[in-house]
Amino acid sequence: MNNRIEPSEDNIKIAVIGIGYVGLSNAVLLAQKYNVVAVDINHERVAMLQRKQSPIADKDIEEWLWNKPLKLEFTTDLTGAVQGAEYVIISTPTDYDPNNNYFNTESVESVIAETAKAAPYSTVIIKSTIPVGFTDKLLDQYPNLNIMFFPEFLREGKALYDCLYPSRIIAGVAADAGEEVIAKAAFFSKILQECALKEDIPQLIISPAEAEAVKLFANTYLALRISFFNELDTYALEHGLVTANIIKGVSLDPRIGDHYNNPSFGYGGYCLPKDTKQLLANYKNIPNSIISGVIESNSMRKDYIAEKIIEKNPKVVGIYRLTMKTASDNFRQSSVLGIMKRISAKGIPIIVYEPKLSDDSFFNARVIRDLELFKEKSEIIVANRHDDRLNDVLYKVFTRDIYFRD
């Protein structure tokens, strides 16, 4: 007689390890219907979330934490969280290690090891971005764990929105995993579908390595598109042409489309810099020119932008915001930092307006929190993205933001 209790909203427990913007958005999404325990090693971050305060800038997450009846708990106890969990979702950071030219996957490996001890027959869903072939290595190392890879395609600042309206759901499952494991992957895809607001979401089950490649190639294509329109803008500037007119003409081709075409100082942020480098590392001795060219183009763009500013011989350069996007709180690998460092290397004084900074200096530049004082002291204001608060000093502003959008 089969006494197994069938999974339901009431008895399924899901553990989410790592509550950055990927983990937190997934935790909030799933907690609409299922019991979710979200884990992080940062006590302060967990304490904030227990007070229903989001540690990341995402308006939807902030609103849902306050106003939605979520089945959601936050803790620093990983062992307790994974025990009895139907699914363990890993969304810990995998920064690119420039010394090894590879992702640093220690956080993922550590969570896997702890999970194998505390819940040795768990189903583990990796959502952290990882190198191609990484999941297969873990499967060899932990044969009792059901490990699969579900890539994420989330935008910073709009992560919950992208969970609610996903472009696709992709499951990376080993071909020889067996019917039960494949059924678990299909059921998790179903959970994501039913918690989303979008209907008829395209779904795909492929091998883990193929799913890992999808993530890296998708982000590298986005970086390629950014670099393409940035190089178009460089050409237009050098020949006295109107960038917006050329972009409009190019984008009217439906095969290209009028999207993701706003020039900038270069791509940056959490994902694109590290994912493009990781994909190039995965190529190793495989012939390529486009992948390596994307990375080179991004560096050249920052060189070019810095030179255009330096040519103006400014007495003081003001850096308006270090963040990559208007609604972001992240300035890791921000293209503005690259511009700032290049200008500073020429001995040009720099001041910074960045409300997110608590220190009075940043990279030897004075931090000014009074916007009016910042405008007054700056001879040129360098802004990767336009802000209406700069409208009264547009004659000082240097930006390549044509459409005033991310």
Determine which one of 154, 173, 216, 271 is catalytic: 271
345 CB-contact burial (10 Å; exposed 0-12 / middle 13-18 / buried 19+): exposed
Please state, in angstroms and rounded to a whole number, the distance separating the CA atoms of residues 213 and 227: 21
Instruction: Let me know: does 103 contact 140? Beta carbons within 8 Å.
Output: no
Host H or E run for residue 13:
strand 13-17
Instruction: Let me know: does 279 contact 311? Beta carbons within 8 Å.
Output: no
| Closest by CA position to 195, among listed 164, 238, 152 | 164
Beta strands in 19-98 (DSSP E): 35-39, 72-75, 87-90, 96-97
Helix count (H) and strand count (E) of the chain?
A: 14, 16
DSSP state of 90: E
Q: Hey, is 172 helix, strand or coil?
A: strand
Handedness of CA 117, 122, 126, 131 (dihedral sign): positive
Helices marked H in 284-354 — which ranges?
290-310, 335-344
Q: Say which residues have a Cβ less than 8 Å from residue 221's Cβ, sequence separation at least 6.
A: none
Instruction: Let me know: does 212 contact 172? Beta carbons within 8 Å.
Output: yes
Q: Say which residues have a Cβ less than 8 Å from residue 334's Cβ, sequence separation at least 6.
A: 268, 269, 322, 323, 324, 384
Cα 84-88-91 angle, rounded to 5 deg: 150
Concerning whether 195 is annotated as a catalytic residue, the answer is no
Q: Which residue has the tokens 């003081």?
A: 316
List the catalytic residues.
271
